[in-house]
Chains A and B, each alone.
Chain A
Amino acid sequence: MLLIHCPYCNKKRPEVEFAYAGEAHIERPNGINQLTMTDEEWSNFMFIRNNIRGEHAERWWHNSGCNMFFNAIRNTQTDKFIMTYKMGENLPTEKQIKAAKK
């Protein structure tokens, strides 16, 4: 069972306290922008995901803890978390990910 660092609690807590919440950094277009999107563009936003083998930016929810959603870089091959960060922060650069691995 993984230990996951919640960036809001600033604590490592066991996996059972958390729930996976899909790929990160997919921004919902607002209502006005939605109307200019074709059906295909809209379905890309809705349904198409990267399904990365390796380092994946994804959302997690500390549901049995502080109730906050946050983002993480996790390796989907080893299942290991490389880093977690708060909602709203930018996607980490390769350099930052590399640094987090150390």
Chain B
Amino acid sequence: MKNFRSKKGSVINEEETIKFSFDGNEFSGFKGDTLSSALLANGIHLVGRSFKYHRPRGILSAGSEEPNAIITFDRGEGKITPNVRATTLEIFNRLQSFSQNSYPNLKFDIGAFNNVFSIFFPAGFYNKTFMWPKSFWDKVYEPFIRNLAGLGPAPLSEDTDNYASCYGHCETLIIGSGPAGIAAALAASQTEGRVILVDEQSEIGGSLLSSSNKKIDNLSSEQWLSKALNTLKKSNNVKLMTRTTAIGYWHDNFVALSERLTDHLSQVPEGSAREQLHRIRARRVILAQGAIERPLVFNGNDRPGIMLSNAAQTYLNKYGVRVGDNISVFTSHDSAYETAFEMCDAKVNVSVIIDLRKEVNADLLAEANSRGIEVHLNSSISRTYGKLRINAFEVYSPIQNKKFIVKCDALIMSGGWTPSLHLWSHSKGSIKWDKSISAYIPDKANENVCCIGACNGNFGIEKALNEGNSVFNNNKKYVVQEQSFGSGVVLNTIPNYLKKEKQKAFVDFQNDVTEKDISLAVQEGFKSIEHVKRYTTNGMATDQGKTSNLNALEIASREVGRSIEKVGLTTFRPPYTPTTFGTFVGYRDKELFDPVRKTPIDDWAVTNSAVFEPVGLWRRARFFPKNKENMDQAVARECKSTRDSLGIFDASTLGKIEIVGPDATKFMNLMYSTSWTSLKVGNCRYGLMLGEDGYIYDDGVVARIADDRYHVTTTTGGAPRVFRHMEDYLQTEFNDLDVWLTSTTEQWAVIALNGPHARDILEPLIKDIDLSADSFPHMSIREGNICGIPTRLFRVSFTGELGFEINVPSNYGLALWKILMTEGAKYRITPYGTETMHVLRAEKGYIIVGQDTDGTVTPFDAGLGWAVAKKKKDFVGMRSLKRKDLVNGVRKQLVGLLTEDPLTVLAEGSQIVINPKQPKPMKMLGHVTSSYWSECLGKSIAMAVIEDGFNLMGTDIYIPMPEDTIKAKVCKPIFYDPEGKRIHV
């Protein structure tokens, strides 16, 4: 195979040969090569197929802006990473890389039929085509879109790599290590503060590595760079970070850096992290991100072998690779001439320069002439040829109306330069249009930040060095011998004799957006650039339009007929380049990803085959299946055993707040609709908490432990918000009250015993509390000891049976549970889970806030009017309850439902109508909030909120379902032991 290595590249180590593969073919390159430079050194340009049309695509750039050369690579053991830019991936031994979007192979791709039928894929194609008919969605549209969606294959196995993360602080953070960044770092190294210099590439140097040798202060740029590097490495306050991308910039100079630690290594050290996220807080940020060259938008500009001029220059100088043997240039900017001359000097044949401009600096023309390069001014390229790689193009001269063909094996282009404003924009700095360079440049900073060098619109090495230096008021002046960076023009249309419809001029290479698409979007009424972007998807691919945004803007501005400043730029958002999920996850992987919050009794539940469900942030046992029972069977058994004998339930997740202080009762009276003044020490009361809007916010049993001390319980999920709600009022509205709030949820383990034998099991275990019904009635609390463990023993019930809730310090929870399981054997004690708890409480009509209420239910709607104190002068929600619409309006009210067929269990959430024969859309009266099979009653039961429900008692209502309509009768929401005899035994 032919070798395209022309000279020694600035980052290439020719001593170390590296073997790698691409699409199954073996190649070799050198240490320092990226995949793209190594492929080009082997004469390969064709590296992928485009996203929408599956057009053959080559390498466009030499950096992270690459839209085309997106590949998948395999590091062995199933470690597959898709959608990686070949231009930034360093090769290592045994690297296996693959092209994407091609089937069966890159040279013959079936998906390319999209290209032939491209007329059917105009802008807004998705929005237009996939609307109707609705029935096509599942079978036709969705499979089709899924097929198109995404680029590379998602990895099929778990990511076994480690990812690290850390915080960092510095006085100066410099992003970009080209001449501007280095000069700033040199100046900063002489200050007191800590300095971090980061660069996404493998070496410090930026454009110094990719341009030919220049003289900086009488040193060759190579010598100057190595001297500068030495100085920086010796400075104690400077940290150099390569292979590190600043991916995002947030408020107060908070910058996230993603450092790639091992992807370039053939041998990864055992246990080392693959990537590390650094969260840096910097006093001052200096952006030296450089600029990105713009492609020219002309017919056939996406053929492999067509490349940005600066990329060709980089491949030549940095990697020693020539991108072809017979090169032509198409440009509207002076900087392409430098590339052409350097190519020539490296003995590459450069035949022609096609320049869109009428006039070009005479020195450049003379230099071209001296090298034997033909320059055609005022000329354009109208077509390109070559199936899988460019082999010729047609030059068109609009003035003379002349056309001719030029043969080539590579075409390099330059449409001018776009300063990189990505991070500046993340930091919410404003931008302004600079006519002289036809680009946006930074304007006003929103943080302690500045831009230097090319990203500030100051091109050329000397300017970059001096601007970097001046940031620290350093007097030093750098002198560089370099060809003037020159200037260019930006055209919003490239002359062509072909009609626009016949042309395929790509703007966004990665998302396959053409000039035509943008014109069409504007014609169809999308005038805002943000809308044009979304309609055409321009700039929405993984490269975020780094090479396409400004070209799209020029075309949109032309079509809208408004100046570019008026059209505006789309917003840049983090991350700057695609970032692995692993980087964001860091150490919070596996069991740390979403930590499970367990009760003290969780271990026992695990060993006893509990099936769990998440509740709030907790993991709770849902039921305890025995002998292959399904959930319904297990729940029926658990319900029956509890009502017949004894059930045991882990209620530790209940929210608990200790409210203490001389004004505790006053505070409680304000926070709850319930009255607390008359509650005696040792008694409990149901507490109903409202929002200021009058709707039910939370509920729970509250015990008065002492005159100035309450033990409050909340719903499991509501604990944090109730605590916040209380703190808010205490600190900001009722701050004259002397009260302390302490969350005690995790301090208490709570074991609920329910059933006729609940007292029998406790009697032998508790010596210091009289458990008899007379001295310890329902809704009271006693403090004492159980098996020597201090306890707050509640006599309460959420089942309607005789019930106790034993609160013990969390550490004793599991031990006590085990004792109770042993002692309870004689009563066939049955552990039950949340599902049985739900059924038992529904049989009694006890509500669950958040299930039977939805934030629009008042206490009166829920039938809990008795829990609203009449005489209190103030409580949260009091005034809202008096609003006319709540008092007089038609309200949805909580009722019970019994289905006509007792075996039918309603679906929770299903809608209710009064007349199923009415025309559609029917009037919905409300919905089913809770519905269960009640084993104890031998029928299904349900609760529902229904408009004017209290007045519908005994009325038939209907629940229309897809298969049939279910008839049910409205009743009071209490189904079991309505007199409440069982609870008071």
With both beta carbons as reference points, the residue of chain A lying nearest to B741 in the complex is identified as A67
Chain A residues closer than 8 Å to B252, beta-carbon distance: 1-3
- Bound together, the chains give a CA A66 to CA B879 distance in angstroms of 32
Q: Is A1 a contact partner of B731 (Cβ separation < 8 A)?
A: no
CB pair B874–A30 under 8 Å, yes or no, is: yes
Distance in angstroms between the alpha carbons of A79 and B254 in the assembled complex? 14
Contact of A69 among B428, B692, B731, B879 (CB under 8 A): B731
Q: Which residue of A lies closest to B691 (CB)?
A: A46
| A39-B728 in contact (CB<8A) | no
> What is the total of A-B residue contacts with beta carbons within 8 Å?
60
| CB <8 Å contact, A68 and B731 | yes
- Contacting residues of chain A (41-100) with chain B, CB-CB under 8 angstroms: 42-43, 46, 59, 61, 63, 67-69, 78-80, 87-88
Chain B: number of interface residues, binned into ranges: 20 to 34
Which listed residue (A1, A14, A46, A61) contacts B692, Cβ 8 A?
A46
Q: Which residues of A contact B409 (CB under 8 A)?
A: none
Find out whether the CB atom of B880 lies under 8 angstroms from the CB atom of A61: no
Whole-angstrom distance from the CB of B449 to the nearest CB of chain A?
13
Q: Given the complex of chains A and B, what is the CA–CA distance between A14 and B446 in angstroms?
A: 18
Residues of B within 8 A of A35 (CB): 879, 882
Q: How far is the CA of A32 from the CA of B874 in the complex (A)?
A: 7
Query: Given the complex of chains A and B, what is the CA–CA distance between A39 and B251 in angstroms?
Result: 42
Would you list 23 pairs from A and B whose C-beta atoms are within 8 A, ordered by A residue?
A: A1-B251, A3-B281, A27-B733, A28-B692, A29-B879, A30-B874, A31-B873, A31-B875, A31-B879, A34-B874, A34-B878, A39-B884, A42-B880, A46-B692, A46-B693, A46-B880, A59-B732, A67-B727, A69-B727, A69-B728, A69-B732, A87-B732, A88-B735
**B917 close to chain A: CB less than 8 A:** no
CB-based closest 6 A-B pairs: A31-B874, A34-B879, A2-B251, A3-B252, A1-B254, A31-B873
A61 to B281, CA, bound (A): 23
Question: For window 212-262 of chain B, which residues contact chain A by CB distance below 8 Å?
Answer: 250-252, 254
Known: A42-B879, A87-B732. 13 other contacts (CB 8 A): A1-B250, A28-B733, A31-B874, A31-B875, A32-B873, A39-B883, A42-B883, A61-B724, A69-B731, A78-B428, A78-B446, A79-B251, A87-B731
Residues of B within 8 A of A2 (CB): 251-252
Number of interface residues of A (CB under 8 A): 30
Q: Please, how many angstroms separate the alpha-carbon atoms of A29 and B728 in the complex?
A: 15
Task: List the B side residues contacting A17 at CB < 8 Å.
Answer: none
List residues of B (849-908) whose CB comes within 8 Å of A's CBs: 872-875, 878-880, 882-884
Residues of chain B within 8 A (CB-CB) of A79 are 251, 428
Question: Which residue numbers of A lie inside 8 Å of B, CB to CB?
Answer: 1-3, 14-15, 21, 27-32, 34-35, 37, 39, 42-43, 46, 59, 61, 63, 67-69, 78-80, 87-88
Q: Which residue in chain B gives the minimum CB-CB distance to A70?
A: B731
Docked complex Cα distance between A42 and B692 (Å)? 11
A30: min CB distance to chain B, Å? 6
Contacts of A31 in B (CB 8 A): 872-875, 878-879
Contact across chains for B879 and A80 when beta carbons are under 8 A apart:
no
CA of A4 to CA of B436 in the docked complex: distance in angstroms? 41
Complex Cα gap A69–B735 (Å): 11
Residue of A nearest to B733 (CB): A28
Closest to B694 in A: A46
Measured between alpha carbons, how far is A78 from B693 in the docked complex, in Å? 32
Closest chain-A Cβ to B102's Cβ sits at a distance in Å of 42
The docked-state distance in angstroms from the alpha carbon of A27 to that of B732 is 9
Query: Distance (Å) between the CB of A74 and the closest chain B CB?
Result: 11
Residues of A within 8 A of B874 (CB): 30-32, 34
Within 8 A of A (CB), among B716-742: 724, 727-728, 731-733, 735
Query: Do A21 and B883 contact each other (CB < 8 Å), given the known contacts A31-B873, A31-B878?
Result: no
Inter-chain contacts of B250 with A (CB < 8 A): 1
User: A21 vs B724: C-alpha distance in the bound complex, in angstroms?
Assistant: 10
Q: Would you give the shortest CB distance from A76 to chain B, in whole angstroms?
A: 13
Contacts of B879 in A (CB 8 A): 29, 31, 34-35, 37, 42
> Nearest CB to that of A28 among chain B residues?
B733
B521 to chain A, nearest CB (A): 30
Annotate B270-301 by CB proximity to A: 1 below 8 A, 0 otherwise. 00000000000100000000000000000000
- Structural contact, B728 and A21, CB atoms closer than 8 A: yes
Closest to A19 in B: B724
From A63, which residue of chain B is reached at the shortest CB distance?
B724
Closest beta carbon of chain A to B243's beta carbon, Å: 24
Query: What residues on A are CB-neighbors of B733 within 8 Å?
Result: 27-28
- A11 shortest CB reach to chain B, Å: 14
Give CA–CA (A43, B886) in the complex, Å.
Answer: 13
Provide the bound-state CA to CA distance between A39 and B728, in Å: 24
A8 to chain B, nearest CB (A): 10
For the complex formed, measure the closest distance between the CB of A45 and the CB atoms of chain B, giving whole angstroms: 9
Nearest-Cβ distance from residue A49 to partner chain B, whole angstroms = 14
Q: Within the assembled complex, what's the spacing in Å between the Cα atoms of A78 and B872? A: 45
Which residues of A are found within 8 Å of B724, using beta-carbon distances? 61, 63
A73 to chain B, nearest CB (A): 16
Instruction: Determine how close the nearest CB of chain B comes to the CB of A66; give it in whole angstroms.
Output: 11
The residues of A that contact B692 with a CB separation of less than 8 Å are 28, 46
Q: Please, which residue of chain B has its CB at the minimum distance from the CB of A88?
A: B735
The interface residues of chain A lying within 8 Å CB-to-CB of B251 are: 1-3, 15, 79-80
Q: With the chains together, A51 CA to B957 CA distance in Å?
A: 45
Q: Considering the chains assembled together, what is the distance between the CA atoms of A34 and B874 in angstroms?
A: 9
Most chain A C-beta atoms within 10 Å of own C-beta, residue among B252, B254, B728: B252
Closest residue to A69 on the B side, CB-wise?
Answer: B731
> B392 CB to closest chain A CB, in angstroms?
54
Complex Cα distance, B252 from A15, in Å, reads 10
Of all chain B residues, the one with the shortest Cβ separation from A21 is B728
Q: Which residue of B lies closest to A24 (CB)?
A: B732
Nearest-Cβ distance from residue A100 to partner chain B, whole angstroms:
16
CB proximity of B442 to chain A, nearest CB, Å: 16
- Chain B residues 151 to 198 lying within 8 A of chain A, measured CB to CB, are none
- Complex CA gap A30/B732 in Å reads 13
- Kindly name the residue among B731, B735, B872, B880 whose own CB sees the greatest number of chain A CB atoms within 10 A: B731
Residue on B with the closest CB to A59? B732
Cβ distance A36 to chain B, nearest Cβ, rounded Å: 10
Q: Nearest chain-A residue to B875 (Cβ)?
A: A31
Smallest CB separation, A98 vs chain B (Å): 19
Residues on the A chain within 8 Å of B872, using CB: 31
CA distance A78 to B251 in the complex (A): 9
